[in-house]
A and B are shown apart, each in its own frame.
Chain A
Amino acid sequence: MNEDKMKKFLNISLLTLTVLSTLSLASCKNEVDNIFDEDAIIRLDKAKAEYMDILTSNGGRWQLEYFANEEEQGYIYLMTFAKDGSVKISGHNKWINQVLVGNSNTSAFGSEVSMWEVIADNGPVLTFNTYNRFFHLFADPYDIPSQSSAQASTDVNESGYGHAGNYEFDIMKYSGDTLYLTGKKPTQTERYLNMIMTRVKSSAEDEVYMNEVVAMTDSFFNSKVNQVYINLPNGVRWIVKNGATSILKMFREDADEISTSETHNIIITHDGLSFMDPVTLDGYVIKNFIRQPDGSLLCRDDNQTTMTADVLSNIFSNKSFIWKGELNNMGGVFADMLNTITAELKAYNKSTLNFAQIAYESNENDNTGSFIVSFNIKKGSVKYNPGYYVTIEKVNDNQVRFTVAPQGNSYGELYAKNCPTIRQFVDTFAATAYDLKANSLLAPVRMTMSQSGSAGNYIIWDLQ
């Protein structure tokens, strides 16, 4: 080897040496940079302690919006966490009634103390780790009992699954007095259900609080009002059916119900309702609704979308509805006329007036029909229903006007002759337009019909 070759060799050797050393040193650094200040176990322990403190502080009272699976409605549970590891869990639903008395036909309140803990898994996990018969019922693997004998014949055997609900929840985050949870066990469709738990500031007794939730349920969806509407900001309406089941059937008003309807399960909370998952309707994403003073629901996500029943004039003139007017629910000239009618009936045949009613009467022969205002009159054990035909004209969304036909039904004519104030009562309907006001815009089962400009003259009608 000559000198040049030797130099060249030495240079290559030194270069190789340098590269090798660098690589060798780098190879020792076999851990990624530590982007956290502390080890995972320390951080997990701190997270556990932090969440336990959050859960037990300020009275430790929380409302869990619980979904057992994707097929059922959600249920509210009220939980009071104590530092000693106990938790009082209260609920009010039909499955609690099943536990208490063996049937799930009605809802019942139940409350029991069991235990809880925040444990470490892949992250902090809230677990309810001793059995609470009013909460773990959704995780029990037993067959779900049929709710009616008719259902029994088609009942699915759920043995091994039950409701397949969770009682362990990954704590995802805490923000604004809300804990965001995810059920640890997936559903049968391999989904992990998200749920939220919000701090409850109310000091009401658990049963009172849960009764308020149940009352909220009734105020939203009444089985007498068979459909309500989601009113989107663009003016499009979606029809909502089966509200009373909390498993909503929804379709666009101008679309075909059978081919386009979709099903969404909801939970009714202490102050509104939430869909289990966000729902996109005509590009609008909705999930959480809050109850308004007028009984309607306003979407908290966009502050524009509402949920109401149909406009009141349509509701009042719905041909399938029957409205009953109790005597003590009338005021002004109507109350005055009632007194006269009562006296006339007594003088005529000693009969008594029970209530008034507006309903649509179909004529089966020619497929026509008409609304009829009738009076329920009782003489001895016999009841008579003198009636007078009216048409209802919708003046605007909240106003109607009546036209009364000159002739009533046979008893209508008879009683008009002998108790003329009965006819006068109905004729008064035609004198003016009437303003309509409902107890709730979502479940308008009580309607106040008052004369426009003379609100003191009114009748309150109850939907039958």
Chain B
Amino acid sequence: MKKIQYYISALLLVAVAALSLSSCSKEKLGPTIFPDVDETLDPNSYSYQLDKFLKENYLDKYNLTFLYKMPDISTNMNYNLVPAKYENAVDLAVLCKFLWFDVYDKIAGPDFLKLYGPRILLMVGSPALNPSSGSETVGLAEGGVKITLFKLNSMNVNSFEMMNDLYFHTMHHEFAHILHQTKTYPPEFNTISVGKYDATNWTGRGWEVTSVGFLTPYASSEYREDFAETIACFITYTQEDWDFYLSLAARGWETDAAEDATDAVYYSFYYYPNNDSEQEKKPVYLADEKNIAKVTVDGTVHTYWKNERDKDGNRIEVYAVEDKDGIEGDKAILQKVDIARQWFRDAWGVDLDALRQEVQDRQKEYNMDVLRKWVYDIH
């Protein structure tokens, strides 16, 4: 009997302990502590027109939040950044739709950006300046979700070159990142310019990078940037610009400085004072602030300099630098475009050439007064 009491006590002890412990895991969740948020737009709001445009054209359609009222917490706090001007946010909102979202809707289908497009577009008024490196970030893509565009406050919608450089190029560049982060691109792309990338010193490079197969100095920083730059440049460069960069890529480049010098200045043409080949050759710089030669697309710089004289009165003849790097830069670039073209077709079912053509057509024809009406005609 006493043994039975002993066992009962022990059993009771275990049972109570088990029940006590298990009771902690069965707590029910209460109702949410977050209050219902009224998403209705206030027609009396100062920003009602833009907010309504963004809701209808981005949020409802693509589940994309177009952040133009900059919350500092959404940015990298290591940078000193300022919000965008409201009017500039309006301009970029309509341009993004016209030159990016509508393009993909037309060429890749209406669901493409719904599936793969970014979920947040953040507008920032200033550039992201890095004081230590002196570099400037003009766009960021984070985790395939968010794209940040900078320098809205200094944008000039009347300067197509500036808009292309800062935004359209950046948009396609960052979106290319989102796409390749979703479906990786063929690894053979990384082999084309292997050994020529420099993640640290690319900022000191100039247009001589074309000679080894990069469309921009930034493309020479690493494989993924090269891939995104190749796509962005191919889509946004006008045919004239595209041909020009290919012509740069086909040229020889020289520098008087050591090749690894960060301040090395490269040149692709030189001239002899008095047309005397015995005299010291002088470089003709390209894409330099102190540019003394404008080289035409087909390389007919001699014609350009005919009858020109230098500051000492010497007649100038210009001669091409011999291409001795062993790399056919233009062919390398075209090879990269081919890989991107094939990847777009196979991975995404998108015709990159058609995409490019659509962007080119729209770049030529956009009219800001008409586009702004999308917002300012909202009542």
Contacts and interface: CB of A to CB of B under 8 A. Distances in A.
Contact of A130 (B24, B83, B132): B83
Nearest to B135: A160
Interface stretch (B5-13, B140-148, B216-224): B5-13
Interface stretch (A112-120, A239-247, A314-322, A400-408): A112-120
Contacts of A20: 13, 16-17, 20
B13 A28 contact: no
Contact of A84 (B45, B84, B129): B45
B46 A85 contact: yes
A66 B110 CA distance: 49
Contacts of A86: 46
Interface in A121-152: 121, 127-131, 133, 136, 139-142
Contact of A25 (B20, B82, B125, B127): B20
Contacts of A141: 79-82, 126-129
A11 B284 CA distance: 102
Nearest to B134: A159
A115 B51 CA distance: 13
Contact of A24 (B20, B42, B73): B20
A184 B77 CA distance: 11
Given A10-B9, A20-B16, A85-B46, A167 B35 contact: no
B5 A6 contact: yes
A27 B12 CA distance: 20
Contacts of A117: 69
Contacts of A161: 80, 131
B6 A136 contact: no
B73 A185 contact: no
B13 A16 contact: yes
Given A115-B46, A115-B47, A115-B69, A130 B35 contact: no
Given A1-B2, A86-B46, A159-B134, A168 B72 contact: yes
B143 to A, nearest CB: 22
A83 B43 CA distance: 12
B20 A140 contact: no
Contacts of A142: 126, 129
B20 A136 contact: no
A70 interface: no
Given A10-B9, A142-B126, A161-B131, A184 B47 contact: no
Interface in B1-39: 2-3, 5-6, 9-10, 12-13, 16-17, 20-21, 23-24, 27, 33-35
B85 A131 contact: yes
Contacts of A162: 80
Contacts of A40: 33
Contacts of B86: 114-115, 130-131
Nearest to B127: A141
Nearest to B85: A131
A160 B126 CA distance: 10
Interface string B45-89: 111000000000000000000001111110001011111111011
A10 B5 contact: yes
Contact of B20 (A3, A21, A115, A129): A21
B44 A84 contact: yes
B252 to A, nearest CB: 35
A16 B42 CA distance: 64
Interface string A252-273: 0000000000000000000000
A456 to B, nearest CB: 61
A41 B17 contact: no
A82 interface: yes
A17 interface: yes
A129 B2 CA distance: 79
Given A17-B13, A39-B33, A129 B81 contact: no
A394 B153 CA distance: 61
B298 to A, nearest CB: 39
A24, A127, A133, A142, most chain B CB atoms within 10 A: A24
B34, B45, B80, most chain A CB atoms within 10 A: B80
A23 B125 CA distance: 58
Given A84-B44, A139-B80, A141-B126, A130 B89 contact: yes
Contacts of B84: 130-131
A164 interface: yes
B100 to A, nearest CB: 22
B82 A131 contact: yes
B130 interface: yes
A13 B12 CA distance: 9
Contact of B24 (A27, A127, A139): A27
Nearest to B51: A85
A160 B46 contact: no
A42 interface: yes
A45 interface: yes
A24 B72 contact: no
A130 B131 contact: no
Given A85-B47, A159-B129, A139 B82 contact: yes
Contacts of A284: none
A40, A45, A129, A139, most chain B CB atoms within 10 A: A129
A20 B69 CA distance: 56
A136 B125 contact: yes
Contact of B21 (A6, A24, A129): A24
A136 B5 contact: no
A191 to B, nearest CB: 15
Given A6-B2, A39-B33, A136-B125, A129 B70 contact: yes
Nearest to A9: B6
A167 B20 contact: no
A195 to B, nearest CB: 16
Given A21-B16, A136-B82, A142-B129, 11 more contacts: A1-B6, A3-B2, A14-B9, A24-B21, A41-B33, A84-B45, A115-B46, A115-B86, A131-B125, A140-B80, A141-B80
Closest 10 CB pairs of A and B: A24-B20, A160-B131, A129-B69, A86-B46, A39-B33, A160-B129, A141-B80, A131-B85, A84-B46, A130-B86
Interface of A: 1, 3, 6, 9-10, 13-14, 16-17, 20-21, 23-25, 27-28, 30, 39-42, 45, 82-86, 114-115, 117, 119, 121, 127-131, 133, 136, 139-142, 159-162, 164, 167-168, 184-185
15 contacts: A1-B6, A9-B6, A16-B13, A24-B17, A24-B20, A86-B46, A114-B85, A131-B84, A131-B88, A133-B85, A140-B80, A141-B82, A141-B126, A162-B80, A167-B83
